Structures are given as structure tokens and as C-alpha cells.
């Protein structure tokens, strides 16, 4: 069974929601890929999609240099759905007209379904709450199209040409704020495009293991594991494909959470019987971090040192030809963004820099998956729930949760405080509800009183957020009794801390991590 033969192509015009469209398609168990809008017509034909979705975007179709597509795409006899900008572009290219709205429409709106189109199958004509984000609107429909929905500010809230199977919606069905948005997308994917829900994590495992076997042949593979679900799932898939020809290298960089090195090592050993080489290089890392304050320099120092350690250990292994790493689909999307790579917010811990010197061939079994899908693969592989649903942990570890210089002493303080945060979150049954929860060691000391004596010690910030995918996040409204226990335990149990504060900023404008 080829799970990639029935697929959707998403053309990206720069919408902040493009990845959400892909997630919704995948949730319908159909494979899809995001490509920049300016992909060539020949590449589209080679991709051979069973349906095409045109994303939204920040431009006006009449802007100079506004992103557009080859008109021939509409003649491929493939169902097409244009979302927001995608609808406006469809209208313009096929002979309709688009004009600036007298009143812009951002946020919630009410959609009135006018026609029992295939796109709205099963929805009746009950008004829907939808999410709008546009300043232009379609004023005249292209020939062969009809209005299938309206809103207070859009005379054509949705349009369709049933014969050509080309549709457009002015709203965003991919966002959670749109009622029945998931059903609308499923109508397009399953009913209009006629696709079968074959994209499951079980089928992915079967296909991927066979792909790895073909690529690696009889070669040997090395994989760096960090303890996160991405690298662990990567290692498990490769191990299944190549049996005893995989060696995993686990580098303890000294900035891991409490008991992390031992836990990761024992979990993988016990559940997957892998060959794992554990290397304690904490002294090397602390030496590299000495005197480093700037967060970007910290990230680079840790990343570069990891490469050096990994390279040294990998070269001790004879006959290794392949390097496995846990690249995810969002990383792939970012590298082909039509706007070019986004501005660097932070560097990422990655072993890709090894390739030039080591001449290894990359094996990236997760490059088609989103984070939640990786977790699904982990569950299918039999990973313990604690590892599958582990909160994201940054590659540079505790180093970017220590504001200021990173030392073994400051790491020890944060490690204990962080452990208490997680213990109390789990004890309260809140761990699964949160995207991340952790402690941050601040570069300040504050005055306090302990045992009738004046103290001047460190302050710790606690951060807990809710999120779907980490792209946006809101601060978690933890119960006061949980916050009280966290604060009391940290102050009483962690020597060197006399104050705890709680971070109530969202993302944006802040980031989830502090550095």
C-alpha cells in the first residue's frame, strides 16, 4: 500500500495558518505536503495531487509583485479549494473581480449557507460562526461559479463551480474558531477529491521501515539521541529496519533535567534493546559555557561542542555510512518557505553540521511528520506514555533557562527547582493539559527573611503554558494551591532560592522559553 499515492498539495501564499491546513488534512488521515506558491507547473504535475488547496496570505491580489500561480493549474482537472487569499486569487485568475472592502473583516463572523454545495454537505443552512481575516473581497464571480455562502461583510463568503470542482471560501476553515471547519475540509478532501483515509501512523511505520531498508541496505547507522520523543522515535524506526547495525550516541552535556540521562538510557535499552553509547561530556560543555551570557552564543557553543563530541565518538565506530536524525516537517517547510528562511529567533541544536566533515548520508524518517504525529508513531511502537507525551525540551537544555552565565552550581539549583515544578504539576494531574512547564533561574538576587535572618538569594520564575502546536501559547491558569505548593517547596527545599515568581505572558509577544 502506497500511502503517498493519494495526496493533497497545499500551495503556500504566506498565511500564518498554512501549517494548520496541513494538520487538518493529516487529521483526516490523508497525506499532504506544503509547497511554495511559485512551484512550477511541471513540478505540480509530477507531484500528481488528487486535490489542491490554495492558502491564505497577507497580500492583496492587486499588489505589485503579489504572489500568483500558473493559470494552467486550474485546467488540470483536479479539485481546488482556495482559502481567503486563495479564493480571491482564484476569482481574479478566472475572470472575476476583487476589490478592497469598505469594511475590513478580522475575527469572528457569521456565515450564512445559501446552497447545498458538496463543500457544505451535511451542514444544512444553520448560520455558522467562522473566522475571517481579510481586507479585500470578491465583487464579481468568475463565469461558471455561484455563491454558496455570504457574511455580513462578504457578498460572496464562499463560491463554487461544481462542474469544475473548484471552490473558494473567504473564511478560514482550518482554525479552531470556525464551527464545522474540520467537516468542511473533510468534505473537500474525502467527498470532492474522493480520497481514502489511508494516512495512519501504523501504515507510516510499515512504509518508513521498508524505505529505510532500501536506503541503508547493509550499511551501518549512527544516531544521536537527546532523550526527546523525536530522536527516540527516529532511533526506534531505524533499529527496526537495520536490526543490529545501529549505534546510538547519547551525550550528557551537563544541562539535562534531574535524572534525565539515566532515565533515557534505561528506557531505550529496556524497550528497544538498542546499542547505546553514553558519553558524559559535562565538563567539556561547562568549560565552553564559561563566561557566556548571550543566549545565542550559548546555543551555538552547545551545538558546536555537541558536534565535536558526536564526531569524535562516531569516528571510533568502523564502517558507519549513515547518520539518522529527527528532522520534523515544520523544519522542512521552513527551509522551503517562499519568503525564504524566517528571521532567526533562535538557533536550533542540530547535528547536520557533521555531514561535511564526516561524509555521512542522512536518514530522516520523520521529515514528513508533525509533532503530534511523531507521538502517534511512538505510541504505535510501544513507547511508554511518559516518553511519548513528554513536554518539549530545548536542545540547549537548562542552559537557556539560566539567565546569565551557566555554571555547575547554578545548574544544580535550577535542576532541583525544575524537578519540583514537574512533580507538583504531575501530582495535580495537570501535566497532559499543559504544553510545557518549567523553572527559570533569574540573574538577580532578592532580599528575604528565613529563620529571623536576612537572606540575599536567587529568584526563580515558573513558566507553564497551554498550546496546540507551540506556534502560539497562552499562560496556564494554574490553581492557586498548586502554585503555593510549588513556591513553598522550592523556597524550602532548594538551597540558594528565596523568591518564586510566575510568568503570565503569552506567545506572542513573548516566546515560550526565556532565551
Q: Side-chain half-sphere of 71: how many Cα atoms within 13 Å?
A: 5
- As a whole number of angstroms, the distance between CA 112 and CA 252 comes to 58
Element (H, E) at 417: helix 408-427
Is residue 478 classed as helix, strand or coil in its secondary structure? coil
463: left (phi over 0), alpha (psi -120 to 50) or beta: beta
- Give me the catalytic one of 29, 134, 172, 349: 172
Between CA 141 and CA 96 the distance in angstroms is 5
Q: Is the Cβ–Cβ distance between 230 and 365 less than 8 Å?
A: no
The DSSP bridge pattern shows strands 97-113 and 146-151 to be antiparallel
Distance CA 374, CA 302 (A): 25
Question: Which DSSP string do the residues of 54-120 spell out, in sequence order?
Answer: E---SS-TTSTT-----GGGGGSS--EEEETHHHHHHHHHTT-EEEEEEEEEEEEEEEEE-S--GGG
Give SS3 for 134.
strand
Q: Where are the beta strands (DSSP E) in 238-345?
A: 246-252, 275-280, 320-324
Q: What long-range pairs does 121-124 form, CB within 8 A, spacing at least 24?
A: 121/187, 121/191, 122/183, 122/187, 123/180, 123/183, 123/184
Whether 420 and 492 have beta carbons less than 8 Å apart is answered as no
Radius of gyration of the chain, Cα coordinates, nearest whole angstrom:
26
The single residue of 105, 174, 368, 416 carrying the catalytic annotation is 174
Residues 370/332, Cβ–Cβ less than 8 Å? no
CA distance to 6, 7, 69, 70, 245, per residue, from 44 (Å)? 14, 12, 11, 10, 38
For residue 509, whether the previous peptide bond is cis, meaning omega lies within 30 degrees of 0, is: yes
d(CA 502, CA 439): 9
Residue (of 513, 439, 504, 509) closest to 478 by Cα position: 504
Instruction: Extract the C-alpha cell encoding 109.
Output: 463572523
Q: Cell numbers of 513, please?
A: 522559553
Kindly state the DSSP code that residue 200 receives in the 8-state scheme. -
Concerning whether 174 is annotated as a catalytic residue, the answer is yes
Query: Residues in the chain, how many?
Result: 515
Question: Does the active-site annotation cover 35?
Answer: no
Q: Could you tell me the three cell numbers for 35?
A: 509547497
Among residues 32, 84, 223, 248, which one is catalytic? 84
**Cell numbers given for 218:** 547493509
Contacts of 1 (CB under 8 A, 6+ apart): 198, 203, 206, 207
| CA 285 to mean position of chain CA atoms | 28
Which residues carry out catalysis? 84, 172, 174
Amino acid at each position: 500500500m502506497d500511502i503517498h499515492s493519494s495526496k493533497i498539495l497545499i500551495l503556500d501564499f504566506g498565511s500564518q495558518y498554512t501549517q494548520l491546513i496541513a494538520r487538518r488534512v493529516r487529521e483526516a488521515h490523508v497525506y499532504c505536503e506544503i509547497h511554495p506558491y511559485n512551484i512550477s507547473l511541471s513540478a505540480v504535475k509530477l507531484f500528481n495531487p488528487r486535490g489542491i488547496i490554495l492558502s491564505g496570505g497577507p497580500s492583496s491580489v492587486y499588489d505589485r509583485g503579489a504572489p500568483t500561480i500558473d493559470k494552467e493549474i486550474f485546467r488540470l482537472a483536479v479539485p481546488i479549494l482556495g482559502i481567503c487569499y486563495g479564493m480571491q486569487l482564484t476569482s481574479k485568475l478566472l475572470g472575476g473581480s476583487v476589490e478592497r472592502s469598505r469594511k475590513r473583516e478580522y475575527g469572528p463572523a457569521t456565515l450564512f449557507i445559501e446552497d447545498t454545495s458538496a463543500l457544505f454537505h451535511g451542514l444544512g443552512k444553520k448560520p455558522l460562526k467562522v473566522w475571517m481575516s481579510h481586507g479585500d473581497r470578491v465583487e464579481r464571480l468568475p463565469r461558471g461559479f455561484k455563491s454558496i455562502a455570504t457574511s455580513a461583510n462578504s457578498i460572496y463568503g464562499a463560491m463554487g463551480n461544481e462542474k469544475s470542482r473548484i471552490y473558494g471560501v473567504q473564511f478560514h476553515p482550518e482554525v479552531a474558531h470556525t464551527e464545522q471547519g474540520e467537516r468542511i475540509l473533510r468534505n473537500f478532501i474525502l467527498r470532492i477529491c474522493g480520497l481514502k483515509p489511508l494516512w495512519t501512523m501504523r501504515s507510516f511505520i510499515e512504509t518508513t521501515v521498508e524505505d529505510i531498508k532500501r536506503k541503508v541496505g547493509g550499511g551501518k547507522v549512527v544516531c544521536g539521541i537527546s532523550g526527546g520523543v523525536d530522536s527516540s522515535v527516529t532511533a526506534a524506526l531505524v533499529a527496526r529496519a537495520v536490526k543490529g547495525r545501529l549505534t546510538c550516541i547519547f551525550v550528557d552535556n551537563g544541562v539535562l533535567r534531574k535524572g534525565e540521562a539515566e532515565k533515557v538510557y534505561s528506557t531505550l535499552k529496556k524497550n528497544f534493546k538498542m546499542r547505546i553509547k553514553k558519553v558524559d561530556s559535562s565538563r567539556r560543555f561547562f568549560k565552553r559555557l564559561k563566561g557566556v551570557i548571550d543566549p545565542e552564543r550559548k546555543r551555538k557553543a552547545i551545538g558546536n561542542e555537541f558536534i565535536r563530541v558526536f564526531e569524535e565518538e562516531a569516528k571510533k565506530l568502523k564502517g558507519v555510512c549513515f547518520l539518522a536524525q529527527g528532522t520534523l516537517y515544520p523544519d522542512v517547510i521552513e527551509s522551503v518557505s517562499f519568503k525564504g528562511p524566517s528571521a532567526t529567533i533562535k538557533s536550533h541544536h542540530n547535528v547536520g553540521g557533521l555531514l561535511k566533515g564526516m561524509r555521512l548520508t542522512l536518514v530522516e524518517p520523520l521529515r514528513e511528520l508533525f509533532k503530534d504525529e511523531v507521538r502517534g508513531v511512538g505510541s504505535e511502537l510501544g513507547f511508554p506514555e511518559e516518553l511519548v507525551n513528554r513536554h518539549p525540551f530545548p536542545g540547549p537544555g537548562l542552559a537557556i533557562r539560566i539567565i546569565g552565565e551557566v555554571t555547575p552550581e547554578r545548574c544544580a539549583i535550577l535542576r532541583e527547582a525544575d524537578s519540583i515544578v514537574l512533580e507538583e504539576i504531575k501530582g495535580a494531574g495537570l501535566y497532559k493539559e499543559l504544553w510545557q512547564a518549567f523553572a527559570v533561574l533569574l540573574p538577580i538576587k532578592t532580599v528575604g527573611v528565613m529563620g529571623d535572618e536576612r537572606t540575599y538569594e536567587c529568584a526563580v520564575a515558573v513558566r507553564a503554558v497551554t498550546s496546540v502546536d507551540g506556534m502560539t501559547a497562552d499562560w496556564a491558569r494554574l490553581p492557586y494551591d498548586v502554585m503555593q505548593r510549588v513556591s513553598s517547596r522550592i523556597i524550602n527545599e532548594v538551597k540558594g532560592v528565596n523568591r518564586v515568581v510566575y510568568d503570565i505572558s503569552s506567545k506572542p509577544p513573548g516566546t515560550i522559553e526565556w532565551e
